[in-house]
Amino acid sequence: MILGHAHPDVMAAVQDAASRGFSFGTPSENEVLLAEEIVSRVEPVEQVRLVSSGTEATMSAVRLARGFTGRSKVVKFAGCYHGHVDALLAHAGSGVATFALPDSAGVPTSAAGETIVLPYNDVEALETAFAEHGSEIACLITEASPGNMGVVPPEEGFTEALRRVTAAHGALLISDEVMTGFRCSRSGWYGLEGPYSGGAPDLFTFGKVMGGGFPAAAFGGRADIMSHLAPLGPVYQAGTLSGNPVATAAGLATLRGCTPEVYTRLDEVSRTIADAASAALSAEGVPHLVQWAGSMFSVFFTSEGSRPAQTGVVRDYDDARAQDLPAFGAFFHSMLDSGVHLPPSAFEAWFVGASHDDEAVGRVLDALPAAARAASA
């Protein structure tokens, strides 16, 4: 909710759309306008198709990549979450490539059996996996800048290495911007890190911010790939509620409300909160690291003696899992007792919204010293 809950402009757009009909099962004007807004913001996205959730976006992008390349294997990174797609619900494995076991009951081993899981920020593991399986790999999907193991941004040159290695083996690169899209900048993570020297990702996925709190998400990218989708091409994809007129009205009003001033404010507020959290934890001697992706950040409670405590950086899922989880739990519950609802897991990103005014920020800052004390106990 980048603009805050029940923002008046979004509310007005939703009411106006709803007064004219909830669902038509056919393209609607707002759907086209929202698609145009996305295409105008993220330069490599030439065509876009709307769906109703981030899960549908990644699932459809992977199917499209498989249909386009005629290959079946998918590469993902440990600690990256792409929704509850069977083939992507796998993160086991470290070191070199590991054939993944599903993380959830109800996912047959065969569904995740074509998924290769690699450690993030590890170019050697990437090259090894592609050297072994390159001709069978349809795509590599990555969070543009991971936020689902806490914020673990790509190291300098890592995204470019993904582009280089996938292109060398004829595999597609899918950048999952469901979390970062239109949040890290008006063009998402791509707006901060791109354009890349070796070329842009082939496909992108979006969700969250672009739906303004309603079920709207999207995938898009190179037109020659998108034209493989039905009805033009052989890759089936559809959805009764996709491009829903009320959801797209909310999304459009939200994106239009994300002015340069809004992004500046998000940057300022997130810095203020992160700096204060870090100062409060330091004052209590609680080991921690703060990591950033645009205005998204995470506070990692680094256990003494762990690799991130020694290196000063959380660079992959193993590092993220080396956290002092009880310290995070104590911190979280103290904040909650003071009326501040942080993301309820040590593996999530902290977001601020444009409605976090000075009074709201003040309440967060006031709650921090006691929470830091609780974490130190």
Which residue ranges make up the site for ligand PLP (CB under 6 A)? 53-55, 58, 81-83, 143, 148, 176, 178-179, 207, 217
Q: Is-catalytic flag, 176? A: yes
CB of 349 to ligand PLP, least distance (A): 9
Q: Could you say which of 76, 81, 196, 317 is catalytic?
A: 81
Distance CA 199, CA 207 (A): 23
Which of 76, 208, 316, 324 is catalytic? The answer is 208
| Least Å from the CB of residue 179 to ligand PLP | 4
Distance CA 72, CA 66 (A): 6
CB of 59 vs ligand PLP, minimal distance in Å: 9
Q: What is the CA radius of gyration of the chain?
A: 21
Of 77 and 331, nearer to ligand PLP (C-beta) is 77
Q: Report the residue number, 74 or 281, with the smaller CB distance to ligand PLP.
A: 74
Q: What is the rounded distance in angstroms from the CA atom of residue 306 to the CA atom of residue 36?
A: 47
* Distance set, CA 6 to CA 10, 14, 60 (Å): 7, 10, 30
Choice among 73, 120, 176, 317 that is catalytic? 176
Q: Residue 300 or 330: which CB sits closer to ligand PLP?
A: 300
Question: 303: which 2 tokens?
Answer: 């256990």
Cβ distance to ligand PLP smaller for residue 50 or 375: 50
Nearer to ligand PLP, 291 or 302 (CB): 291
Residues 110/101, Cβ–Cβ less than 8 Å:
no
The helix/strand/coil state of 76 is strand
To the query of whether residue 81 is one of the catalytic residues in this protein, the response is yes
Taking the C-alpha atoms of residue 313 and residue 300, their distance in angstroms, rounded to an integer, is: 10
Q: How far is the CB of 82 from ligand PLP (least distance, A)?
A: 5
Burial of 230 (0-12, 13-18, 19+ CB in 10 A): exposed
Query: Is 208 among the catalytic positions?
Result: yes
In which element (H, E) is residue 172 found?
Answer: strand 172-177
Q: Which are the catalytic amino acids?
A: 81, 176, 208
